[in-house]
Amino acid sequence: MHYYSTNKQTPPIDLQEAVVKGLAGDNGLYMPERISVFPDSFFEEIQKMTFQEISFEVAKAFFGEDVETDLLKEIVYDALNFETPLVPVLDSIYSLELFHGPTLAFKDVGARFMARLLQYFIKKENKSGKDSRNVNVLVATSGDTGSAVANGFLGIDGIHVYVLYPKGKVSAIQECQFTTLGQNITALEINGTFDDCQALVKAAFLDKELNEKLLLTSANSINVARFLPQAFYYFNAYAQLRRKGIKNEIVFCVPSGNFGNLTAGLMACQMGLPIKRFIAANNKNDVFLQYLLTGFYNAKPSVQTLANAMDVGNPSNFVRILDLFGHNHDTITQFISGFSCSDESICETVKACYQSTGYLLDPHGACAYSALLEKLQANETGVFLETAHPSKFKETIETIISDTVEIPQKLQEFMKGKKQSTELGKDFSAFKRYLITR
C-alpha cells in the first residue's frame, strides 16, 4: 500500500519508507492511499471476537500488503496483551479504560507496534545491502508519550531513542518511566515547554546536515505505525457495546492533544465502524475548538494545565483531519464537535464524579467526561476514552478528592530506578551538536 503526504508535494511511498522516515519531505504527514471498508457481516460477528482477533483484522487492512501475515499477527498479539475494559460510569456514559498496558498509557500499543515494525524494516534494509545503520528515534513528550515509547523500544537492537521532555513540567512518576531505563533509551531534559521540545524534533528532521549524518525518525503520532494501531481501540469498544446490546447512536469523546487518537477513530469510521459522531475534548489549549467555531485555524503557544499530555498549541494531526474530510469545514463540524475544559472544571468534575459514582477520573479523562455530561443527547450512548491512570497524577488527584490514590504495582517498579538525564537548552544548534557528537 502506498502512503501520500498531506501536502502532496512529494510522491507517494511505501509503508517501509513511511515508517522509517516518519515525516514527509514536504513537511506533510503520511496517509494511507486506501482505507478498506469491512462488510456488515464483520460488525455482526464482532462481539464474538477477542481484542487481539479484532485488532489483527484491522491491522491486516492497513499493513497486510506490506508485512507477512504471521509476523503481523505476532506483532499485534505482542502489542495487545492487555484488555481495555468498558466501565459504566453513569446511565449511557462509559469509560473506555485504555491504561492497562505496560506503562499504563494508551500510547503503549502504538509505541510497541511501531518499535516492532521499525525493527523489521531496518533489518530488511540492512540485509538488502544498503549500509547498515542504526536508527535514532526522536520523541518529544509532555509525559505519556515518552514513557510508552521508551518502554516499547527498550532493548530493541539497532534503534536508539532520545526522549525530549520539558524540565519540571511532567509528573514525577512519568519522568521515572523514561529516565530510569538506560540501555538504548536516552532522556533529554529541555529547558523549555513541550512545544519547544516538539520544535527541536521538527527542526532536526528538516536539518540537511543532520540527516546526512544520522538516520532519524519520529515516534510521535506523526508516524503512521504509531497512530494507526489506535484504531483497534474503537473496534474493540464497539464489540463491547454490542455485547451490552448497544449498536446505534454511539458517540466517542476523545481527550485530545496532538489528535492522533481522534484521527485513528475517524479512520475506524471510514472502515465502516458505525459511530454517529465524535467529541474532541480539550483543556484550555483549544485551537481545535476555535477552528470548529470560526473556520480559522490559529496555532498558539501551549499553556500549562492539569491535563498536561494535552498541552499542545499546534496539534500535528490536525492536517490529517482536514485531509480526511477534504478540507471541508461544514463536514467536519457535522461529525466532530469540540469542548474546552478549564483546570477548575477538571477539578470539579473529578470530585463530583468520584463523590456521586465512585469512579476516579484522571485529569484527561475528566475533560472528556465533562464534555459528555454537557453534550450527550438523550438517545445517545457516550464512550469517553480514559487515557491515563489517575495515580499518574497522584498529588493533584489526592488534593481534589481529599483521599489517597494507590499507585499500581507496575508503576511502583519504575520508581525504584535511578534517574539519568541530560539537560539541554531549547536552541537547536546545541541539540544538533549533541546528536552529532554522541
Ligand X SMILES: *Cc1c(COP(=O)(O)O)cnc(C)c1O
Count, residues in the chain: 438
Does residue number 261 form part of the binding site for ligand X (CB under 6 A)? yes
Does residue number 226 form part of the binding site for ligand X (CB under 6 A)? no
Residue 79: CB minimum distance to ligand X, A: 16
- Nearest residue to ligand X, scored by beta-carbon proximity: 144
Binding characters for ligand X, 144-163, by CB under 6 A (x = yes): xx------------------
CB-count exposure of residue 7 (10 Å: 0-12, 13-18, 19+): middle
Range 113-132, binding ligand X (CB under 6 A)? none
Residue 270: CB minimum distance to ligand X, A: 17
231-243 vs 260-270: helix axis angle to the nearest 10? 60
CB-count exposure of residue 247 (10 Å: 0-12, 13-18, 19+): middle
Does residue number 174 form part of the binding site for ligand X (CB under 6 A)? no
Radius of gyration over every alpha carbon of the chain, rounded to an integer in angstroms: 20
Cell of 383: 464512550
- By CB under 6 A, name the one of 109, 135, 310, 435 that touches ligand X: 310
Residue 156: name the closest of 198, 98, 219, 93 by CA: 219
Does residue number 105 form part of the binding site for ligand X (CB under 6 A)? yes
- The window from 14-22, 54-62, 250-258, 322-330 that contacts ligand X (CB under 6 A) reads 250-258
CB closer to ligand X, 306 vs 310: 310
CB 376 within 8 A of CB 319: no
Cα distance between residue 265 and residue 280, in whole Å: 11
Residue 255: CB minimum distance to ligand X, A: 4
- The window from 10-18, 19-27, 163-171, 258-266 that contacts ligand X (CB under 6 A) reads 258-266
Range 318-357, binding ligand X (CB under 6 A)? none
Does residue number 384 form part of the binding site for ligand X (CB under 6 A)? no
CB closer to ligand X, 107 vs 426: 107
Does residue number 259 form part of the binding site for ligand X (CB under 6 A)? yes
Cα distance between residue 7 and residue 25, in whole Å: 10
In Å, how far from its chain's centre is CA 339? 19
- The window from 81-89, 255-263, 319-327, 338-346 that contacts ligand X (CB under 6 A) reads 255-263
CB-count exposure of residue 40 (10 Å: 0-12, 13-18, 19+): exposed
Is the CA virtual torsion 412, 413, 419, 420 positive or negative? negative
Residue 101: CB minimum distance to ligand X, A: 11
Residue type, 245: G
Does residue number 258 form part of the binding site for ligand X (CB under 6 A)? yes
Does residue number 388 form part of the binding site for ligand X (CB under 6 A)? yes
Residue 40: CB minimum distance to ligand X, A: 29
- The window from 151-159, 203-211, 251-259, 344-352 that contacts ligand X (CB under 6 A) reads 251-259
Does residue number 364 form part of the binding site for ligand X (CB under 6 A)? yes
Sequence-ordered strand ranges (E) for 119-273: 135-140, 159-166, 185-190, 215-218, 250-255
Cell of 223: 508516524
Does residue number 166 form part of the binding site for ligand X (CB under 6 A)? no
CB closer to ligand X, 221 vs 240: 221
Does residue number 202 form part of the binding site for ligand X (CB under 6 A)? no
Cα distance between residue 36 and residue 186, in whole Å: 38
In Å, how far from its chain's centre is CA 266? 14
Site residues, ligand X (CB under 6 A): 105, 107, 144-145, 221, 255-262, 309-310, 364, 387-388
